[in-house]
Amino acid sequence: MSLQETLSNHVKQAVFASYGVVIESIEFQTTRKEFAGDITVVVFPMLRFIKGNPVKIGETLGEYLVDNVEDVKAYNVVKGFLNIEIEDSYYLDFFNSIKTNVNYGFQTSESEDKAIMVEYSSPNTNKPLHLGHIRNNLLGYSVSEIIKASGKKVYKTQIINDRGIHICKSMLAWKLFGNNETPETTGLKGDKLVGNYYVKFDQEYKKEVADLVTCGKSEEEAKKNAPILLEAQSMLRKWEAGDKETVALWKKMNGWVYDGFDVTYKNLGVDFDALYYESNTYLLGKEFVAEGLKSGVFQTEEDGSVWCDLTDEGLDKKIVQRGDGTAVYMTQDIGTAIQRIKDFPDVGGMVYTVGNEQDYHFQVLFLILKKLGFDWAKNLYHLSYGMVDLPSGKMKSREGTVVDADDLITEMAATAEEISKELGKLEGYSEDEKKELYKTIGLGALKYYILKVDPKKRILFDPKESIDFQGNTGPFIQYTYARIQSILRKADVNAEGGIISLHTKEKELIKQLQLFPEVVQNAASQHSPALIANYTYDLVKEFNSFYQNVSILGADNNDEKTFRVQLSNVVANTIKNAFSVLGIQVPERM
């Protein structure tokens, strides 16, 4: 039980004993630095239940707590704020209870709890992963790890969008202009090669549209009737009809893309427990569209298209199948959700990591699944996030102006190398060790910069700013961890410290450590890695203040030295645990 929970019970008892009043909740806040105290009770809200002067009420409650609660040492009242001082023994007992726990802050999985499935990445197979995918992957992976750390079983998954007109555009362009080139003959990663043909299609399409406009067609007509687009649409129909040659090309080019994706995922440090393919799940979706028609959840229009009327719920009518019987995105998403529960019956809820432009889509999807009678549909959550911009402006895949994920990862390591060389901190490192460290710092900078921001907010990503070794950055936190490891290597302590009083900086550091388990739980319930990132920065700031004000290895006696080394070790372990759920590594030396 936290200090706040313990004190809350005692304050309620004090109110009842002193005034005969039952109060449901007590408001606490951190004691302001200029006053003595560790935690503050706000008296003003009690005035609704207790008549009297807030200062007098605070003094009455303070006296009760000093007399009746072992851990309360003293109190003072400033206006309507009761500042409470806690005995050092309370903090020392807490510290001793966690100092050997390498998993501090994490809860083990409760087997009877339903598992959570987290979907992220979910790319199209017509182009490489880009900066937007990076935010998606980092968010999804981190939220998975945080929910796991909060004590739940988690499955990580993605739906691969491997069918549709966009895939056919890359396929057709390769067929027309590719001269049978492959990743092996070009030396390009497969996803990059296929992405080049998506760009090529767009270039040829624009030329044809311009030609048709020159010949007197309206722009609208030209866009619809460009021969290359009509050919791509024909290819899609052939694929849906199972044409052997089309399906063989589709399998070959998708295979190239999957190999490319695997390399990017490995470099980014993310993984999956299960993969789903739109080319499979849309079929199950169509089955449930038929079921929904029978049960009256869906209705057929005159042209044969199938719709769900959500106007009673304040939404629009939504198409779930076209008049020609072909699937839309909603069909596939219905099928995917149902298939996942079939495959993993212990799943009781799902988190979808998808950009905020799809907010309405997921509102509709969740409502349709509820109408189809699935109980688990009430536990579906859309982890909606804002776009990532670069100082140079907006990205467009088909125009080839996208920041490629692989290129960005490489650039981050190069920037880390440049800055590390300027700082001159790497004497005694082999070239391989340096290379690995640059990658760790570069990736840590990228991940932290993106994850420290609330998912809902849009980000302007500045690679150079993210690798600053000062301020709220990944490298600053990594450097503090490495500094602590250096202290631990130099420390020659193995005895238990018999310390009985705490320096103010030691106490503040322990207070910050106490918050970690609650931060993990809050981050899990709010699906927000930003809470973990910013907690870690606060912990590191608190440690650096301690480091600058209190001598660790030069302590006055062995008890103090032992305690401070142990305290530093717990801080380092907490940084490591916090960064592990953000998917960030911490270097032993920097």
The enclosing domain of 51 has a CATH number of 3.30.1360.70
437 and 555 together in one domain: yes
pLDDT tens-digit readout, 360-372: 999 999 999 999 9
Q: What is the three-class DSSP state of 176?
A: helix
Mean pLDDT of 157-171: 93
67 and 178 together in one domain: no
Calculated CA dihedral for residues 429, 430, 432, 435, nearest 10 degrees: 40
pTM for the full model? 0.91
453 and 576 together in one domain: yes
60 and 196 together in one domain: no
Query: Does residue 291 lie within any of the structural domains?
Result: no
pLDDT band at 401 (very low <50, low <70, confident <90, very high): low
Distance CA 7, CA 84 (A): 10
pLDDT tens-digit readout, 95-140: 999 999 999 999 987 767 899 999 999 898 998 998 889 999 999 9
- The mean-pLDDT minimum among 78-82, 137-141, 395-399, 501-505 falls in 395-399
Distance CA 93, CA 90 (A): 5
Query: Does residue 514 lie within any of the structural domains?
Result: yes
**DSSP letters spanning 464-484:** HHHT-SSSSSHHHHHHHHHHH
Distance CA 479, CA 530 (A): 20
Query: Does residue 151 lie within any of the structural domains?
Result: no
576 and 462 together in one domain: yes
Of 86, 101, 133, the last residue of a domain is: 86
pLDDT of residue 5: 86
Domains held by the chain: number? 3
547 and 429 together in one domain: yes
Read off φ and ψ for residue 521, nearest 5 degrees: -65, -45
Of 271, 301, 329, the last residue of a domain is: 271
Mean pLDDT of 159-175: 93
Kind of pairing, strands 115-119 and 154-160? parallel
Query: Does residue 94 lie within any of the structural domains?
Result: no
Query: Does residue 402 lie within any of the structural domains?
Result: no
pLDDT exceeds 70 at position 303: yes
Query: Does residue 281 lie within any of the structural domains?
Result: no
Of 271, 298, 327, the last residue of a domain is: 271
Mean pLDDT of 3-22: 92
Kind of pairing, strands 115-119 and 81-86? unpaired
pLDDT of residue 590: 83
pLDDT of residue 495: 63
CB 37 within 8 A of CB 78: no
The enclosing domain of 421 has a CATH number of 1.10.730.10
414 and 548 together in one domain: yes
pLDDT of residue 6: 86
63 and 169 together in one domain: no
- Describe the strand order of the beta sheet including 317-321 as a list of residue ranges: 299-300, 306-309, 317-321
pLDDT of residue 396: 46
178 and 74 together in one domain: no
pLDDT of residue 111: 66
430 and 522 together in one domain: yes
**DSSP letters spanning 27-46:** -EEPPPTTSS-SEEEE-GGG
412 and 527 together in one domain: yes
Residue 570 neighbours by CB distance under 10 Å: 20
Query: Does residue 261 lie within any of the structural domains?
Result: yes
Distance CA 32, CA 38 (A): 9
Q: Write out the residue range of the structural domain in which residue 533 sits.
A: 408-581
pLDDT exceeds 60 at position 302: yes
pLDDT of residue 200: 96
- The mean-pLDDT minimum among 324-338, 401-415, 420-434 falls in 420-434
207 and 62 together in one domain: no
Taking only Cα atoms into account, the Rg of the chain, rounded to an integer number of angstroms, comes to 30
Query: Does residue 505 lie within any of the structural domains?
Result: yes
Kind of pairing, strands 299-300 and 154-160? unpaired
pLDDT of residue 497: 61
Average pLDDT, the chain: 92
As beta bridge partners, residue 386 has none
pLDDT of residue 402: 66
